[in-house]
Each structure stands twice: as structure tokens, then as C-alpha cells.
Amino acid sequence: MNNDGFDIKAGVDLIEEQISGACARCGRKREEIRLMAVSKFHPLESVEEAYKQGIRLFGENRVQEGISKFSKFRENFPAAKAEVHLIGSLQRNKAKSAVQFFDCIQSVDRDPLIEELGALTGERKTPLIILLEYHTGEESKAGFSGLDSLYRGAEKALSCPGLSPQGLMTLAPFTDDEKTLRASFRQLYRAAEELEKRFPQDGGKKRWTTLSMGMSGDFEIAIEEGSTLVRIGTAIFGARHL
């Protein structure tokens, strides 16, 4: 339970059931999709409860909030193999702390940020995993807009030895209209296919394999359209209090 009496276990169970259902409908395997619990604005206790219910991937959208919550989490569960990804827009002045803390930055949305991240990671032994955020129709949100700017971003990221770009992230438009949602997810899927053609990896192994798309309201459609990582907040933790 969280403070509102929202049942996190029931939330996780239901989402699992719905993910399996969506997979069955479109002939995909459950293992193809990672479930992220988006814990922004929710307290450490909720994170710990979700961890106990089997969640091993978390998303935060603010650098400071993510670091303070998850450094306590790591203190309390030192052996936990849980990842934390940054999914919210990143300002340059917070890039240094973000790079030191997060397992992946999904919200890489502009060239100057790639340059900054590249400079901060130049000496790393293991490159920082990043996703490029692509604008697929949401009115006000960030992201590379159009394939040409995405290609330039990809090229820049690939030129940084400390960065390992592994896929794309998008936010679909805020709508219930299934057609619009599908169109947005399809756009992300096709953009990844294009990147794979244009920027293949040596040895023929695919590089642009992570498609982070789908939230509480639209993740089943996202799975049908090829999502490999769904980001679920409300349906696991209940409503956020801003």
C-alpha cells in the first residue's frame, strides 16, 4: 500500500497480466518487454514495496529527486540488482550528477546535450547507455524532431566513445484516440529501423534495439506496435501529488 491506500502489489499484478495479454494478442514473448516503474513524486517506501513485488527497473524524471531517493534505496538494499533510468528532460548544469548516478539516460533530446554527455563520459571504462528521445507528435514535449535531426543526433552520439546509444524513447500525444497513438508508436518503430540501416553495428548485431514507449494509458497499444520497454507510473503507484 502507499499513503493513499493504493495497493502497489495489485497494481503490479494487474500490469503484468495486461502485458502478458497484449503479448499474447500480437504473438510476442513476455521477455521481449521490460517493465519500468516510474516512481517520480512517490516516496522511497513505495519504491521499496515495488521492488518487493519484483520490479527491477525504475524511472525518475528529475535528477535531484532520483539521486536522493535511490541512493537511500541502494543503502537499504545493497545487494539489489535494480536499475534507475532518467526519463525527464536534463539541463546541462545537472548533467554531471546525472551521468554519475543513472544507469541510462533515456531523455537525450538535443545535440548540445549529447556533446555535454560525451565530454563528461570520455574517460569511462563502461560507456553510458543512452536513448535518443524522438518527437512523434506530442505537442509540447522535447525530442529530436524529424528524421534528419535524429540522424545527426545519432551520428554525434556514436562519435562519443563514452556513450552507447541503444535505442529510442518517445511520449505519445495525450489522447485516447487509438489511431493517433498507433501512428506515434509506429513512427518510433520505423525511425529505429532507419537508424539500424544507416548506423549498423560492426558484426551485424543490432544496435537500436530499445524502444521505450507506452505509459499507463497506452502501453498495450505500444506493445502491439513493438515497444520493448514500457514506463508505468500511475497504474503501479497510484496518483501523483505534485
Ligand X SMILES: *Cc1c(COP(=O)(O)O)cnc(C)c1O
Which positions touch ligand X (CB under 6 A)? 38, 40, 61, 87-88, 171, 215-217, 231-235
Which residue, 160 or 169, is less far from ligand X as judged by CB?
169
Task: Determine contact, residues 24/219, Cβ cutoff 8 Å.
Answer: no
Closest separation between CB of residue 133 and ligand X, Å?
9
Give whichever of 20 and 216 is closer to ligand X, judged by the CB atom.
Answer: 216
**Least distance from C-beta 132 to ligand X, angstroms?**
14
Using the minimum distance from each CB to ligand X, give the nearer residue, 80 or 239: 239
Least Cβ distance, residue 198 to ligand X (angstroms): 26
Between 40 and 69, CB nearer to ligand X: 40
In the complex, least distance from residue 218 CB atom to ligand X, rounded to whole angstroms: 8
d(CA 80, CA 193): 34
Question: What distance in Å separates the CA atoms of residue 171 and residue 194, rounded to the nearest whole number?
Answer: 19
Q: Any residues with CB less than 8 A from the CB of 125 and at least 6 apart, and which?
A: none
Least Å distance, CB 13 to ligand X, is 16
Pairwise CA distance, residues 143 & 138, whole Å: 10
Nearer to ligand X, 18 or 158 (CB): 18
- Which contacts qualify for 196-204: CB closer than 8 Å, 24 or more apart? 198/151, 198/154, 199/154, 199/155, 199/158
Looking at the DSSP bridge assignments, the partners of residue 163 are 128
Of 3 and 76, which CB lies nearer to ligand X in the complex structure?
Answer: 3
In this structure, are residues 58 and 47 in contact, taking their beta carbons and an 8 Å threshold?
A: yes
We find the least distance from the C-beta atom of residue 216 to ligand X, in angstroms, to be 3
CB of 32 closer than 8 Å to CB of 26: no
Residue closest to ligand X when measured from CB atoms: 233
CB distance 44 to 73 below 8 Å: yes
CA–CA gap between residue 10 and residue 117 (Å, rounded): 38
